[in-house]
Structure 1
Amino acid sequence: MAGNFYKVQCQDCENEQVVFGKAATVVNCAVCGTVLARPTGGNATFEGEVTETVEAR
């Protein structure tokens, strides 16, 4: 299973969190609970801003 990890910034509290690019579940911000990524069956759709690729595979 190949995929990338991304650093995503929350729109509400500006917390940065690392998210797997093919997330299978909804990923919420650890600080405020806002949705950061939603699964789509393939690559996840990011709700927050992707600031960098942490690890490319």
Structure 2
Amino acid sequence: MSGNFYSVRCSDCENEQVVFGKAATEVSCAVCGTTLARPTGGKAEIEHEVLETVESR
């Protein structure tokens, strides 16, 4: 499995969370529950600010 992990900042509560770039399920913020990423069948649609690529595979 190849893909990248991204550090994403929630625009609602400023929480930073690591998200897989090809997420197969909806990813919610661990603090406030806002959706951070939605699956699209390939790369996930990241809906908030991407801070950096944490790990490339």
TM-score, normalising length: structure 2: 0.98
Paired residue type of 1:44: A
Structure 2 Cα separation of the partners of residues 48 and 35 of structure 1: 9
Are residues 1:46 and 2:46 paired?
yes
Structure 1: runs of 5+ lacking an equivalent: none
- Alignment length (residue pairs): 57
Tell me the secondary structure at the aligned position of residue 50 of structure 1.
strand
Structure 2: runs of 5+ lacking an equivalent: none
Note the C-alpha offset of 1:11: 1.0
- Find the counterpart in structure 2 of residue 3 from structure 1: 3
TM-score, normalising length: structure 1: 0.98
Instruction: Calculate the aligned-residue CA RMSD, in Å.
Output: 0.4
4+ runs of 1 displaced by more than 4 Å? none
- Find the counterpart in structure 1 of residue 31 from structure 2: 31
Q: How does 1:3-22 map to 2 (within 5 A)?
A: 3-22=3-22
Note the C-alpha offset of 1:41: 0.2
Residue identity (%) = 77
